Amino acid sequence: MRRFEKVFGKVVRKRRREMGLSQEDLGYLSGLHRTYISEIERGLKSSSLRAVVSIAAALEVPVSTLMRETEKQLANELIASEGD
Residue type, 28: Y
Report pTM: 0.91
Give me the CATH topology for the region 2-82.
Answer: 434 Repressor (Amino-terminal Domain) (1.10.260)
Q: Is the pLDDT of residue 40 over 70?
A: yes
- Residue 1 pLDDT level (bands cut at 50, 70, 90): low
- Residue 26 pLDDT level (bands cut at 50, 70, 90): very high
Q: Is the pLDDT of residue 27 over 90?
A: yes
> Considering only CA atoms, which of 48, 39, 28 is closest in space to residue 6?
39
- Residue 29 pLDDT level (bands cut at 50, 70, 90): very high
Q: Is the pLDDT of residue 19 over 90?
A: yes
